[in-house]
């Protein structure tokens, strides 16, 4: 089946008349009838009810006509996308980004992206990963940069991995953690589950939550003043005076994984952003707003 076949099926379905459809397709009625018979034989179906006057599409014929409409629209969209990709791209790219990534990794990444693609305007919203994922589902953003892949069935790419650490102002006895104050950072559902799994694997008592904060800066400031310990990922270089211990579950450290999620049939403007993120992931290059230059860590 090629594009011309899909056009034939759609046109015949629209007119329900071989002669009129042939006129629209600039072909003869015998030639059109012959091609329809070939399509039927190839697919093993009947496009029309037998003996129907006027011409009446069968159930299979109606379904195929609807599919023909989709195939022709997809072909047209593909041509338009390829045409746009042949020159400087222009338009709006909507990003939904997890808050900590937006704060510590995204600014320099966006600077590089907008420098390379000045015609693409970026519309950014940030928040919890779960919120950004919902925005992607509802087509409110073109790309979500989040902390879980959510078993997303369309486009996805793992772009970063960071370790989680228990950080404190002074050395702590791991056995005493249930009695020590914890500064809890709002990590979002997926990471919170991982940390809870680690806790339950090591302790029978619940943690003593002294404070709950939603900003990494606030969390680190509290820990640096000896007000409690925290469990955080290495989005940025941690203050040198803090003691950090990797958090292990099942023989491996808990990882903070950052994913790009997008729809396959999305805006063509997503491609340059995906390319730059996956290229950086392949080289291990990362951005950090705590330094003026790009910071490359293995």
Give pLDDT tens digits for 225-253.
999 999 988 766 788 889 998 888 777 88
The pairing of strands 208-213 and 181-185 is parallel
For the chain, what is the radius of gyration of the CA atoms?
28
Q: Quote the pTM value.
A: 0.63
Domain of residue 17, CATH code: 1.10.10.10
In this structure, the answer to whether residues 77 and 103 fall within a common structural domain is no
With vertex at residue 90, the alpha carbon angle to CA 88 and CA 95, rounded to the nearest 5 degrees, is 125
pLDDT band of residue 291 (cuts 50, 70, 90) is very low
Looking at the 3D structure of the chain, how many domains does it have?
3
pLDDT of residue 293: 32
The pLDDT tens digits of the residues spanning 275-290 come to 999 988 887 666 554 4
In this structure, the answer to whether residues 99 and 119 fall within a common structural domain is yes
> Which residues touch 216 (CB under 8 Å, ≥6 apart)?
100, 103, 104, 185, 232, 235, 236
In this structure, the answer to whether residues 184 and 41 fall within a common structural domain is no
Residues 120/92, Cβ–Cβ less than 8 Å: yes
User: Coil, helix or strand for 293?
Assistant: coil
* pLDDT of 176 higher than 60: yes
Domain of residue 214, CATH code: 3.40.190.290
Cα–Cα distance for residue pair 139/103, rounded to 1 Å: 23
Cα–Cα distance for residue pair 170/187, rounded to 1 Å: 23
The pairing of strands 252-253 and 248-249 is antiparallel
User: Coil, helix or strand for 258?
Assistant: strand
The pLDDT tens digits of the residues spanning 43-73 come to 888 888 776 566 778 888 888 888 888 888 8
Mean pLDDT calculated for residue range 116-138: 92
In this structure, the answer to whether residues 167 and 235 fall within a common structural domain is yes
Average pLDDT of the chain, as a whole number: 84
Domain of residue 285, CATH code: 3.40.190.10
Q: What residues make up the domain containing 113?
A: 91-159+258-296
């Amino acid at each position: 089946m090629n594009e011309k076949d899909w056009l034939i099926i759609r046109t015949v379905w629209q007119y329900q008349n071989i002669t009129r459809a042939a006129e629209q397709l600039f072909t003869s009625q015998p030639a059109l009838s012959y091609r329809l018979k070939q399509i039927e034989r190839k697919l093993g179906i009947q496009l029309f009810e037998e003996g129907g006057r006027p011409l009446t599409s069968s159930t299979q014929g109606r379904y195929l006509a609807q599919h023909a409409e989709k195939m022709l629209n997809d072909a047209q969209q593909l041509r338009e996308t390829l045409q746009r990709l042949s020159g400087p791209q222009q338009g709006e790219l909507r990003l939904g980004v997890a808050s900590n990534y937006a704060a510590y990794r995204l600014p320099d990444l966006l600077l590089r992206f907008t420098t390379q693609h000045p015609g693409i305007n970026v519309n950014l919203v940030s928040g919890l990963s779960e919120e950004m994922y919902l925005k992607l589902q509802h087509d409110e953003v073109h790309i979500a940069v989040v902390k879980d892949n959510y078993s997303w069935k369309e486009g996805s790419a793992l772009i970063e991995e960071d370790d989680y650490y228990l950080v404190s102002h002074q050395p702590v006895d791991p056995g005493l953690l249930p009695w020590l104050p914890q500064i809890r950072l709002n990590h979002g559902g997926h990471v919170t589950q991982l940390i809870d799994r680690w806790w339950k694997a090591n302790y029978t008592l619940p943690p003593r939550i002294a404070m709950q904060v939603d900003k990494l800066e606030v969390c680190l400031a509290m820990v640096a003043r000896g007000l409690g310990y925290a469990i955080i990922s290495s989005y940025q270089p941690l203050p040198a005076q803090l003691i950090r211990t990797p958090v292990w579950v099942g023989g491996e450290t808990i990882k903070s994984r950052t994913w790009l999620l997008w729809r396959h049939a999305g805006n063509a403007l997503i491609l340059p952003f995906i390319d730059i993120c996956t290229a950086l992931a392949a080289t291990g290059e990362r951005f950090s707003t705590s330094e003026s230059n790009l910071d490359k860590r293995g």
